Structure 1
Amino acid sequence: MLVDWEGERAFQKTFHAEGLPLVTADRDDLFVPMAALVRVFERAAKATARRDFGLRVGERLQPQSYGLWMQYCAQAPTLGEALRRIGDVLHFHQSGSRSRLVAEGAFVIWRYERSQPNKTHTQHSDHAVPAMLSLIRLYVGAEWAPSWIELDYPRDADAGIVEPLMPGPVRFGQPAVGIAVPIALISKQRPQRIGKRITPLDLEIQDVLPVTDEPLRSIFAISVLRLMDGRTDIDGTAAMAGISVRTLQRHLNREGLSYRSLLERVRLTRARALLEHTDLTITEVALTLGYSEHANFTRAFSRAAGLSPVQFRHHMRWINGNKDPS
């Protein structure tokens, strides 16, 4: 959408300003640290001078736009189970956020909240509303509208631009982005399920990050993103994480890691992406990553992933060939 409104140059400038490779915009399997994602939305809205930028982006997205983890959630037999699954697997997609269900009278509020209440995140919050709504409508119908919507920022001077575009009454200044759903709809079954069944194991195999705890997961994700542009310096990684080099090293030391060993893990993570998203031969992948011998790469990858490079490629192609297109 940024390209549509402002052109390719503005698009590149926005991503480069946050140190993100352009491929981030096209890859639904990449884990992007929440702070960087929020800043991209705010920069894009400023570049386009559109208060409704985030909302319009969300309107373009469907559950499959978010990758395998959301498709797993959308395969749940009932709406309630789909929402519970999101709370269980959201960490595969982003850091610093959580999804939960809160009962309020005759309603259940599905709330999505970040751990950055003091950050400017208006645009990212707006984008979440239609994205959340699209999942709910898979179960309750395309015309359904929520009883009310919650936004986690105070009503600003330009809120009148987006408020009429929201699919229901808006409550500003809430603790999270939320959508109110009548309790009776929580047991609503999805009319149909398309595609072969996706399991949590499939999500774990696709997950490119070998750690789940913060802040190490975000540090690792940043290193993966920067490697795509050929950047491996510790100063740049620390800056993108919003911490000092010394603090970054302290986090790594707690886990028994050096920055060098982190980069080795990142290299194997990059191997997974190349195996899944390119047609490079196993030998070509090994050479791209700096391995002098095909066998050395195969041993290192098998030890880290639990599958040989060939087995991993076959499994991911099976998964990607059976995505839910709804």
Structure 2
Amino acid sequence: MLIANVRSSAFDGWTKWLKANSISLEQVPTIRTIPPRSERARPTPLSEFVNFSEAIVRETRNVAIPWLVGLNYSMSSMGELGKLIQTSKSVGGALRHFVNYFELLQNFTDISLEVDEQFTHLNYRILDPNIWPRHHDAMFSLGLAAKIMRSGIGDDWEGIEFMFETQQNEMIGNINKVVNAPCSFGAESNTLRFPTAFMDAKLIPRSDSLSRSEINSSLAAHRRYQPLSERIATLVFRDLGRSAVQQDEVARQVGLSGRSMRRKLSIEGATYQQVLDECRMRQAVFEFRTKPDLSLTEIALRLGYSEHSTFSRAFARWSGISPDAFRRNLNKCIN
């Protein structure tokens, strides 16, 4: 199953901002030692990075930190993607680069840009259901997008709104005041919504930055070494609860025929059904944890099962107990 990673250089902007604002990591005893600068080009488990951002807010009680780190983040810490963004002549071009090549920074993530005549939505969510909470990582990531926007529109924040996947009572502090915009909670994705006219705002491009062909080569190399089962799991998690997950469509999106996909999975010692079942069960646990009011029937439908009983049998085979019993045990641990 896929292991979610992030570039270790993602820590750079955090440590720089914390130091500049006289916040010592010794004040956050729950944080493990972060990777030394000499190892920042290597990937770090995404769960560790998210725990890092959550712990800082929890221990300092300052919900603004992830947002401010994002707004003040150095493009150089984004590696090749940062260089490409700096070639952009408009906010829209820069945001498209940010979305299209985000995979080079962090995998197992669903990030998209939806543009219509009036409003544009930049959507972001981590797909690994084992990583939760992840509220402040979302504020940091949307802060990166806001940094790109502000380089073109300045402080003109009129018409901007935020949506977060967490519930409001799980966040610390007044988020509306932190981002200086209306916020809503309990959404399907973390979203920055802004007037589409902002996409045309001009940027001053740098001529010494990365070319599109260079970063495309990097992305192709990145994907070449990623197991097929991980690429499939990413697509399955992205669509569970949102649209029907069809094997032929998954094959098409990974650039293979259904037969070739099954053959390559067999070489890895897996089957499509095994990947799908594992994703469904892990997502079910996430739904239990984050949507306590959903019935088992509703969860079964969200996961693509036509009947509650089919889901219950599959879950019992996977976990050893019924979904009802699992949910009760989970609630006891949470409470």
Q: TM-score, normalization: structure 2? A: 0.54
1:109 Cα shift? 0.7
Alignment-mate amino acid for residue 45 of structure 2:
P
Matched, 1:35 2:47: yes
2:184 and 2:137 map into 1 onto residues whose CA distance is: 16
1:201 Cα shift? 4.2
Aligned to 1:174: 187
Secondary structure of 1:35's counterpart equals helix
Matched, 1:60 2:72: yes
1:39 and 1:91 map into 2 onto residues whose CA distance is: 20
Alignment-mate amino acid for residue 36 of structure 2:
L
Secondary structure of 2:112's counterpart equals strand
- Quick one: which of 93, 105, 109 aligns to 2:105? 93
Alignment-mate amino acid for residue 85 of structure 2:
C
Q: Do 2:72 and 2:147's aligned partners in 1 also have CA atoms closer than 8 Å?
A: no
1:155 Cα shift? 0.6
Alignment-mate amino acid for residue 7 of structure 1:
S
Aligned to 1:51: 63
Q: Do 2:99 and 2:111's aligned partners in 1 also have CA atoms closer than 8 Å?
A: yes
Q: 1:146 to 1:72 in 2, by over 3 A?
A: farther
Matched, 1:133 2:146: yes
Deviations 1:170-189 (A, max 9, x none): 12122222211212232333
Q: 1:132 to 1:186 in 2, by over 3 A?
A: same
- Quick one: which of 65, 77, 81 aligns to 2:89? 77
Secondary structure of 1:102's counterpart equals strand
Task: List runs of 5+ in structure 2 lacking aligned partners.
Answer: 1-16, 232-264, 270-335
RMSD between aligned residues = 3.5
Q: Do 1:31 and 1:92's aligned partners in 2 also have CA atoms closer than 8 Å?
A: no
Q: 1:199 to 1:30 in 2, by over 3 A?
A: farther
Aligned to 2:31: 14
Q: 1:7 to 1:185 in 2, by over 3 A?
A: closer
Q: Do 2:119 and 2:193's aligned partners in 1 also have CA atoms closer than 8 Å?
A: yes
Larger mean Cα displacement after TM superposition, 62-71 or 87-96: 62-71
Q: 1:73 to 1:213 in 2, by over 3 A?
A: farther
Task: List runs of 5+ in structure 1 lacking aligned partners.
Answer: 218-250, 256-326
1:89 Cα shift? 1.0
Alignment-mate amino acid for residue 98 of structure 2:
I
Q: 1:99 to 1:175 in 2, by over 3 A?
A: same
Secondary structure of 1:156's counterpart equals helix
Q: Do 2:76 and 2:82's aligned partners in 1 also have CA atoms closer than 8 Å?
A: yes
1:12 Cα shift? 8.5
Q: 1:213 to 1:179 in 2, by over 3 A?
A: farther
Percent sequence identity over aligned pairs:
14
Deviations 1:233-268 (A, max 9, x none): xxxxxxxxxxxxxxxxxx99718xxxxxxxxxxxxx
Aligned to 1:211: 225
- Quick one: which of 148, 165, 181 aligns to 1:152? 165
Deviations 1:101-139 (A, max 9, x none): 224662011112221356210111122232210111222
Secondary structure of 2:197's counterpart equals helix
Q: Do 1:6 and 1:47's aligned partners in 2 also have CA atoms closer than 8 Å?
A: no
Alignment-mate amino acid for residue 68 of structure 2:
R
Secondary structure of 2:137's counterpart equals helix
Deviations 1:5-40 (A, max 9, x none): 553545796233xxx52338x84x443332222122
1:80 and 1:131 map into 2 onto residues whose CA distance is: 14
1:6 and 1:188 map into 2 onto residues whose CA distance is: 35
Secondary structure of 1:135's counterpart equals helix
1:145 Cα shift? 4.6
Q: TM-score, normalization: structure 1? A: 0.55
Secondary structure of 1:124's counterpart equals helix
1:252 and 1:49 map into 2 onto residues whose CA distance is: 49
Q: Do 2:61 and 2:172's aligned partners in 1 also have CA atoms closer than 8 Å?
A: no
Q: Do 2:90 and 2:152's aligned partners in 1 also have CA atoms closer than 8 Å?
A: yes
Alignment-mate amino acid for residue 24 of structure 2:
G
1:91 Cα shift? 0.9
User: How many residue pairs are counted as aligned between the two chains?
Assistant: 217
Q: 1:51 to 1:197 in 2, by over 3 A?
A: closer
2:267 and 2:78 map into 1 onto residues whose CA distance is: 33
2:115 and 2:217 map into 1 onto residues whose CA distance is: 34
Q: 1:105 to 1:78 in 2, by over 3 A?
A: closer
Deviations 1:63-117 (A, max 9, x none): 3442321331242223222222222211111111132122466201111222135
2:141 and 2:122 map into 1 onto residues whose CA distance is: 12
Q: Do 1:32 and 1:93's aligned partners in 2 also have CA atoms closer than 8 Å?
A: no
2:151 and 2:76 map into 1 onto residues whose CA distance is: 12
1:162 Cα shift? 3.0
Secondary structure of 2:169's counterpart equals coil
1:47 and 1:188 map into 2 onto residues whose CA distance is: 38
- Quick one: which of 37, 62, 69 aligns to 1:23? 37
